[in-house]
Structure 1
Amino acid sequence: MAESLLFSVAESFIGKLASRVLDEASLALGVYDDLRRIKDTSSLIKAVLLDAEQKQWQNNELREWLRQIKCVFSDAEDVIDDFECEALRMQVVNTSGSIRRKVRHYFSSSNPVAYRLKMAHQIKDINARLTKVAADRHNFGLQNNYSDTRIVQKRELTHSHIIESDVIGREHDKQIIIDLLLQDGDDKSLSVIPIVGMGGMGKTTLAKSVFNDERLDEAFQQKMWVCVSHDFELKHLLVKILNSASDSSPSEHIQNFDIEQLQNHLRNTLVDQKFLLVLDDVWNENRVKWEELKDLIQVSAKGSKVLVTTRSHKTADMMSTNTSHILEGLSKNDSLSVFVKWAFKEGEDKKHLELMEVGNDIVQKCGGLPLAIRTLGSSLFLKFDIEEWKFVKDSEIWNLPQQDDGILPAIKLSYDQLPSYLKRCFACFSLFEKSSLHIDVEVTAFWNALGFLPTPKQGENSGDIGKQLLHELWSRSFVQNFVDGGSIFSFELHDLVHDLALYVARDDFQLLNFQYENIRENVRHLSVLENDLLSQISIPTGLRTMLFPDGANNKPFLNNCLSMCKYLRLLEINNSRYKNLPCSICKLKHLRCLRLVNNQELERLPDSVCKLQNLQTLDLHDCQKLQKLPNGIGNLIKLQELCITTKQSNFPEELAKLSSLEILAFINCDNLMFSFEGIQFPKLKLLSFSYCGNLKSLPFHIIPNIESLIIKDCNMVILSMGDNNNQIPKLKLKLIRLNSLPQIVTFPQWFQGCANTLHTLIIGNCENLEELPKCLSTFISLKILKIVNCPKLISLPEDVHRLPNLQGLTMSGCPELYRRYEPEVGQDWYKISHIKHVKVVELED
């Protein structure tokens, strides 16, 4: 299945071959012409990959050919990355200044002549291997396809008929939709109501239940049901709509009409008719196509409605004239009712209480997804052997037999629609445990380290690209509980979506959590969940990713991993009991991401860490015994994210060399006192201080450039700019989070400088805060305002109701605010009652 990711691998590899750094390095090493030939050959292979991927399951030889390509591309990528490592090494050597002698010794093992010979040999070997596999493509009759526009499996067409007793747990959703449909409409525009949710959530079932409700028969003169699926061509849609209309001509006549005849016939059919049109299973995100159809059907009487079901938030936003209805999973009780309906004949569940105990666990793994519950329930119908039930409970849902209308085809259809670059990103989720909460900066760091992110355009950075990809996954209903905090996102994956990631990524990615489970032959990305497993597994030397289990303390495994896995891009050792890391870590010259979070015993990092010039992320969050940063940290010239917990009070001046830094966080740095004087960090986007007890002032000269400022539990911090307090700088801040800052009584004037940009303001446990700034009503971009446990805060600004874009307001643990803004009864409730999401409670939940 990993071969389905090959097209993206090829695109990424060809992009690397076109880089300016590689051109310069290849000219210097005399392999420029060889690399040009590799690029041309790779393009020939890429052209047939999409066709090959679709045909591989009917041809074992073709599948083996794809496996060979994957191996060659992987080895080639390692060689190309070696060029980048060498270029960075030379950059450090040439800019070392006063420490030039140290750096020369630092890299004394590098011999330019030997390196040139070695690389030339490797390049020629890669060239020969690629040429051979490229020639073999002629053996399979493959078609050229230069863009990822593959044809995917389509779901069966739907119809409007339903047995109402089959609809369980959707009464509330149904009433909401019916109320929206029965509202008086604007006679100038067509009202469109989308139902949005992931595959298998029951959108079509809900739409059918609504469509067949008798109340709508009275309200609409014409009702039409059209299954759209992937076919959003205007002519086909017009034919389907006319065929569904009760007074239309027979389909054999309409099929022969041209567009002009169809649109005339449709307009004549709908004119002055109040109609309900259901467009089921819409995937189209092309606004032009939608507007073209909408213009033709917008000839009806006032009150006509269109009900849309879609998996895509982007589609819903494009089509909607109302708020979309987001369909959530079923409750536990309703889920159990659905399962009983499909697993037993009526009343038989009461005769099999032992089976029902197992059934409860089976329902739990479905996460409220109706189609998954139906699929597993149906598979157990008339089966009363408890071992069969336990097998279903303990198996991944993807490994169970299913029909074409089961949950696997339903959810995998969404995966098949993903562009190739998103498929590799989605596959990464297979390395995490189920039900994990994800933060965008952490996920983006993973994608960036593995080279999965598309090349940023001018003015963009990897964080921007990562956010765009996460938005796209959310739009396609792959992630849920998506919370946009301005410049920081959090989200989760439904358990079955996580299972899908395990399924589609199973050749290249492996989550190891069972005793005696073998590591697969071609695994490149490995996550181990149990510490005991480290002593039982053999380490694949071709690993790109290694995620250690919590509590890891197996020193031989660590040493072997660092010495054998020289192509690692991503190494995560969190919550371990290691006191130090071996100096041999410097051999991992391809390493992009090193995460060492919450290693409570870690006392030092070897200075050799600073030989890792490719490093983009270094996370030392909550390593509370760490004495200091390693010497030479300024040599990490590609570092984009640095999270620090150390006992240091003053940090080395060479931090100023980290000109690529985008995220800088200090956590539990109790001795931190310095103010970054003279350091600019031109690309910094996020600055965070947490639990820094002696920090008194902030580096205000940096703040005008950043987008997110987080300050938590810093008891001595003062927000005032001192002598510059009367100046109002122009700021770019989108997120400000202030928590447990007892020195804050009022907001400083500089806060007004982000009136045009601030998206999210979170204030918590600021016990002495007495007022919010009066200028808050001028914050035109503010969408989220959250105030928690600020007992001295007695009111919001008088004209808070004028905030134009405020969508979420939470006030908790603020007694006076609760009295004034208590829902329905508070004297100032009317000022905030219009806000979309309002939560006012006495105490924090």
Structure 2
Amino acid sequence: MQCKDRIKRTIKNHKVLLAMDNVSDSQHVVDFATDLLRAEFMQGSIVIIAARSLAQLQTLNIHEGECVEMVELLENEAMSLFLHYAAPKLHLKDVWPTTVQLITQCVQRCHFGKGDGISHHYHPLALKVLGAQLGNDPEEWLEKLNESDTFNQYREKEDMHPVFSILRRSFDTLNNEDQALFMDVALFGPMPISPWFDSREMRINIFQWFSMVHGRSVAATMTMLKGLKRKSLIEALGDGSKAIGMHDLWREFAIMKAKGGEFDPQPWIYEKVYDPDDPQREETCLSGGGWRSLRRICMIGEQNYLSEVKCFVNELDLSCCSNLRVLKLVQVHLETEVLDVSSLTQLKSLEINYAYYTGPSNLFHILGLRLLKNMVFLHLDGLQTDSLNKEIENLTRLQILHVKDLHSESIAETLPDLSRLVLLRDVSFDSCKLAGMISGLSSKMTNLKRLSLRDCSSLQSCHGVGDLVALEELDLSGCRMLEELPNLRRLKNLLKLEVSSCKLIKAVAGLSHLVSLQVFRAEGCSELAELANMCKLINLKELHVFKCPLIKTIPGLSDFIALDDLSVDCEAIEGCHDLHKLTKLERVGIEGWSEKTSSCVSNFVNLKILEITNSPEGVDELAGLSTLTRLQEITIRGCGFKDMPCLSSLTALTSVTLHVCRELERLPDMHMLTRLEKIDAVACTSLREWKTGTLLQLETLELNQLKCSELPDLSSFPQLRELVLTECKKLRSLTSSAPLPALRTLTLMWCTRLRKLPDVNHLVSLNSFLLSNCKVLLRAHEIETLEAMCPGLNLNKSHLPYMSGLESDDEGEEPTVNSQIHPNVTCDGCDMTPILGRRFHCFSKDCPLSDGGYDLCQSCHENWIDDFGLFNKQRGYWHPPWHRMNEVESEAFGDGEGDGEEASEGDGEGDGDASGDGEGDDGGDSEGDDGADDGVAGDGE
């Protein structure tokens, strides 16, 4: 108090600089800071307050307009900051390109996600700590960087890493309940729908799960979460449909906090279970039975997509874990094939997930499930087990039940009887393909909001669905054997109805009474003959009645005044009137096209997205869309249009996508499309004219199987960030008369006649360059120039044609080549043909691809393709990633006097297929001639 009074007297009589750092939301800090801010400052004084979040500053009644967010580090700034702490005598501008690449690797360790699945930033404190750890000798950095405990592990039992020690101080100020909630957000909550693709979409509302597990109302739980957000322990909360955002550093801290085996009994255990062949694999700390203070367990196995690697736990003894609340097992296999949960009488949440494991199934017996009377959340995905029907039927407190892809012969006829589970809120039995019926649904289930039987392809009866008066979401998509839907007229609260791919249904009884309905999807219902008049469905926002050939009209369509997303067959829309009333419509997808369809679509003057699919033969021109002045994106797939002149007048367009428009001969004049950011043209095999003009805002250009021999000068696209050209087999050159300061990604594959690239000095900002199966020959000094200009460049040298061991004595001479060639061998990872440099081949006798062989170039072998396995399109197999690849020796390059590998490409270009037996160039030139001129394969085949 005396200190505060003295400060007040001082600031009244003197100009001062007052700085308050790391202001928290604790009440005494807020009171102290607020009292000071209310004091009378002498004119000219400066007050600076720093906090971890905007919300904390706002608690001091500071207006948002007076707050400034810290500017994030750019990559070169991060590299300089790292050098300042690692090797102060080195300066970024003076180091060799190889050292720059090493520095880039180092700073990437400090490039953390912010928790939204998209944004990343360089963390200054992490750069400082890592720089101090690695020392001033760059030759030692790589070895230290690869140490398992670098940067994200505890140093000793009582000594945390400097970064985590700061986080720990914030964590320790939380009460026990807030700490438990933080750990659940970080590690123990349900898995997202697609966890291996950084998807954050959740199967359930995540706030509900927190509420159930913590025994609090959703409102009280939200208050706690907002408190964690104010303290910057979590990021964006969202609406509960996605995982809560958390900074990577906080998540790593949580993993360290829950690491078992080294500490006294604690409330949390989080373990990663490794491949049994992995020498670093650790035994689970639970093999001795666990301990009574344990509240959360999460064990994570192999997380590669579609992996067949089994991660085993010798024994999972839970006999002493009587106070456990959450048990989460993901991709973890038990060698005993038995999980005994009978002692977990306090368990509230159980998740066993094998969603992305594709190997042979193992039996998984769950003992004592019926004894878990406090269970509120149960998720089982991909199990092969004995019948769980009787077990599940006894879980009378269950609120969320998700069973997916359950392999069990005993469940062939029916799903569990749900009649006793009247507290259920959310039920799904997705992909239970043998189940023929579901029972126990009744009007007593007044809490049931969601029911999904998606892809239950044998389901023939769903009795009781029509009595679920509280239901808000019903998904019967993919129930191919279901001949009749229950009458849905009582479901006045239903918001979302999906019946797509229900091949046998002829009607949707009660549809016209679903007055709350917002989303209706009925795609691919080949027997659906009619729809009732839906004029009462004034809340409908999405309507998808697509590929339903018997539907000729949609009664009441013009009355859907809230509709913003529509997908229909063209015949269904042509019979409708007063379509101009649909003023909120922003997206339309049309199957088929005609002049009458064009007239109908022209009514949607506020349309932003238009997708046209499979126009019939005889419709040669896309026209009549000039009224769509707000259209931003247009996608045209599988259509026979030869010309699209109407696109020239759609000046609001930002994206044009043309896929498999094989009759399209020319692009319209696009010089007036000043907002266009993306052009994506795939398999438009007749497209030979490319006169787009200057496109000042174009950022992405992706072209596949284009027949043009040249493209416009790339300087016509000054904002171009990504250029991807694949199988453009007539393209001979790429030019740019000026630098391309925005270009970040350049991908050129199978452009077999491409010989010339823009001057590498114009590629000043490139950070990813892939060149494969093209005839461009890059000299060594060009590679050095690229690497010097672009410190963070990801340049895959093993994919560069004829690059391994390049030597050139004179800039004007072609480089000589000294490397290995593997004639007639294609890399199954990147399609390099022939493989240049080191080749790796699978010799496993049980390899499903053994007939044609499975080969990888050095780059693909060293990177992700060998780990994940590769899908072979010709034979429809994934290559098992555990098959060992062995190196195959081959001959060295010759002097280039033979016919060359390229000569075998065929005697004409054709329509883009590999055989090359097509029309050739106008002058009679052929791929074979080009190959002979190059003479790159030495002895010739």
Using the size of structure 1 for normalisation, the TM-score is: 0.50
Q: Which has the higher helix share?
A: 1
* Structure of higher RCO (CA pairs closer than 8 Å, 6+ residues apart): 1
Computing the radius of gyration from Cα coordinates, the structure with the larger value is 2
TM-score normalized by the length of structure 2:
0.45
